Amino acid sequence: MTVIQTVGVIGAGQMGRGIAQVFAQSGYDVMLQDVSSDALGIAEGFIRDRLDRNVSSGKMTVGERAETLGRLSYGSSIEPLGARDLIVESATEKEAVKVAIFESLLPHLSDHTLLTTNTSSLSITRLAAHTDRPERFMGLHFMNPVPVMKLVELIRGIATDETTFKTMQEVVARLGKTGTVSEDYPAFIVNRILVPMINEAVYTLFEGVGNVASIDASMKLGANQPMGPLELADFIGLDTCLSIMGVLNDGLADSKYRPCPLLVKYVEAGWLGRKTGRGFYDYRGADGIPVPTR
């Protein structure tokens, strides 16, 4: 199997910075790349804050924090990533963006580099076809928030070879995560089940069966869910939920995956959830208490 020591993470958003953190904590030399220097600055501050919390809670020593930070570097250029043993793409959930990233990487890649994508729904086989190494390409889908959630979905494309798969199984184990294996079908396992449930909750709101507070309270108290489905949608991002429903609807051609019109309207309004301050809840109040928007 390929020995992985150096890792490149593309995309310094919520997922990318979490992925970079867990790799660095697990002993890998990590470069986090993003075209936005502002995003890189935010990511670096976020990771430092997370590590400070780990020290305060006794989960990490001061020395371990320093070692982790020493294994992290940041940059806006994609070229230096080509020499890395493993690249994890974690850019926005838009196929055209991901394809452009992989195509821009090709001239700089070392022969041994493994490519993975953190896509939550898109075809691994189709993305791999835009590279020069589909046999060394696979899906590595982390859950949010990455430092907390224990699951990683491992998804092989049709061309992914056994060596690549076994190597990534070993990497996931070293990260202290549990890997589950999914076939390369739209939205894989977690989001194939989770996001249609969220979409159905939005339909329940849209049709007036219950309001936001009632729907979330019902599912938390009646189904023992830690977060209500609309609260969870805000946490994930309504644009991401809509994108995944679109992939399911297009890929499986089943009317049960039709995105709720109300979900579409919220996204059109720019009410994307926590990251924009407003979604099914309004997070902009001075007291910090989320207020239902319906």
Please give the annotated binding residues for NAD(+), written as ranges. 11-16, 34, 93, 98, 120, 144, 275
Classify the C-alpha dihedral 92-97-102-107 as positive or negative: negative
Distance CA 294, CA 289 (A): 15
**Catalytic residue of the set 54, 118, 120, 182:** 120
SS3 call for 138? strand
Of 141, 182, 199, 243, which residue is the catalytic one? 141
Closest CA to 186 of 128, 121, 250: 121
Per the CB < 8 A criterion, the answer to whether 88 and 116 are in contact is: yes
Catalytic annotation present for 211 = no
**Does 120 qualify as catalytic in the annotation?**
yes
Bridge partners (DSSP) listed for residue 238: none
Out of 54, 118, 123, 153, which one is annotated catalytic?
A: 153
Amino acid at 229: P
- Going from the C-alpha of 124 to that of each of 128, 146, 153, the distances in angstroms are 6, 21, 12
Binding residue ranges? 11-16, 34, 93, 98, 120, 144, 275
Q: How many Cα atoms occupy the beta-carbon half-sphere of 201 within 13 Å?
A: 28
Catalytic residue among 90, 123, 182, 191: 191
Helix (H, G, I), strand (E, B) or coil at 188: coil
Specify the pairing of strand 6-10 against strand 86-89.
parallel
Sheet holding 178-182, edge to edge: 72-75, 29-33, 6-10, 86-89, 114-117, 137-142, 151-156, 178-182
Q: Are 72 and 222 in contact (CB under 8 A)?
A: no
Q: Is 37 a catalytic residue?
A: no
91: tokens are: 């850019």
Tell me which residues are annotated as active site.
120, 141, 153, 191
